[in-house]
Amino acid sequence: MDVILKQDVERLGAKNDIVTVKTGYARNYLIPQGFAIAATDSARKVVTETIRQQSHKALKALEDAKAVAEKMAGVSVKIGAKAGESGKIFGSVNNIQVAEALAAAGYEVERKNIDLGTDTIRDLGSYTAKVKLHKEVVAEIAFEVVAE
């Protein structure tokens, strides 16, 4: 059975995708939970029109994200942390502190879109983080953890 996804479904597809699934899965789970609708001819026409209208907005968002990524390429922020004499930090630095440092530098980024690579940073030094600005645009920023 063909269904049109109303939202992203993990390991199945993205919003507005037309996917083929087993009839029971569609009727008993996807459609009652509101994840999908049946792919009738009229529903297909509505989805193609919606995709056509959203493509212009998506292209503009992609261009804006690329412009922000170019600006962020040269940015280096400093994060202050309490540290001992050996260079170990009391606690750790995570994506919340990186997001606050970027906000202070003039870039509003949600903390969930910042990937530090490692789980925690517990030493002073220079690091890089990946910032997901768009699903196709990822910017790398350099940050330095310094003792307060």
Q: Say whether pLDDT at 12 is over 90.
A: yes
In this prediction, residues 74-95 reach a mean pLDDT of: 89
> Parallel, antiparallel, or unpaired: how do β-strands 76-81 and 137-147 relate?
parallel
Mean pLDDT of 128-145: 90
SS3 state of residue 8: coil
What is the total residue count of the chain? 148
Residue 6 pLDDT: 95
Mean pLDDT of the 72-90 span: 88
Q: Identify the CATH assignment for 69-147 out of 2.30.29.30, 3.10.430.100, 3.40.630.30, 3.40.50.1860.
A: 3.10.430.100
How is the chain split into domains, by residue range?
A: 2-63, 69-147
Give the pair of three-digit tokens for residue 80: 């202050």
| pLDDT of residue 82 exceeding 80 | yes
Q: What percent of the chain is predicted at pLDDT more than 90?
A: 57
DSSP assignment letter at 21: -
Name, in order, each residue with C-beta under 8 angstroms of 38's C-beta and a sequence gap of 6 or more.
1, 2, 3, 4, 26, 31
91 pLDDT more than 80: yes
Q: In the CATH scheme, what is the homologous superfamily, with its name and number, of domain 2-63?
A: Ribosomal protein L9, N-terminal domain (3.40.5.10)
Residue 118 pLDDT > 80: no
Task: Identify which of 103, 127, 106, 125 has the alpha carbon closest to the alpha carbon of residue 117.
Answer: 127
Mean pLDDT of the chain: 91
Give every CB contact of residue 65 below 8 A, 6+ residues apart in sequence: 133, 134, 136, 137
